[in-house]
Amino acid sequence: MVQSYLKQPNNSEKKLQAWDWILIIGITLSPMNRLRTWKVGPGELLCILWSLKYIWQLLTVTINNCLLRFWLVFLPVIVVGTAYGQLFFPKETEPGALLTWVYFFFISVSIYTGMSTKSPEQIKKFLVILSTVVTLWYMFLYIYSKNVSRIFLGVNLWYWQVRYSGGGNNPHLLASLIAGVMFFNVYLLFDKGSVLKKILPLICTVFNLIIALATKSSTLYISLVVTMVSFAVYRILTVIPGKREKWVALSVMVIITSLFLGLTWTQLYEMIYAAISGDANGMGRLEIFKSIVVTLKKNWVFGLGPGTHGMDGTIEYHNTYLEILAMGGVIGLGLFTAFSWRLYKLIRPYRWMLFGVLPLYLYGMGGFTMRRLSFWAILAILIACADRSNEAAKRASEPGAAQARSSPAALEQRSFLKRF
DSSP string, 54-119: THHHHHHS---SHHHHHHHHHHHHHHHHHHHHHHH-GGGB-GGGHHHHHHHHHHHHHHHHHHTTS-
**Model's pTM, two decimal places?**
0.86
- The pLDDT score that the predictor gives to residue 190 is 73
Any bridge partners for residue 194, and if so which?
none
- The pLDDT score that the predictor gives to residue 235 is 81
- The pLDDT score that the predictor gives to residue 14 is 60
Give the SS3 label for residue 181.
Answer: helix
| Of residues 67, 1, 68, 54, the one with CA closest to residue 23 | 54
- The pLDDT score that the predictor gives to residue 237 is 82
- The pLDDT score that the predictor gives to residue 300 is 93
Q: Where are the beta strands (DSSP E) in 286-408?
A: none
- The pLDDT score that the predictor gives to residue 9 is 45
- The pLDDT score that the predictor gives to residue 129 is 92
- The pLDDT score that the predictor gives to residue 81 is 95
- The pLDDT score that the predictor gives to residue 5 is 30
- The pLDDT score that the predictor gives to residue 20 is 94
- The pLDDT score that the predictor gives to residue 139 is 96
Q: Which residues of the chain have pLDDT under 50?
A: 1-12, 280, 404-406, 409-420
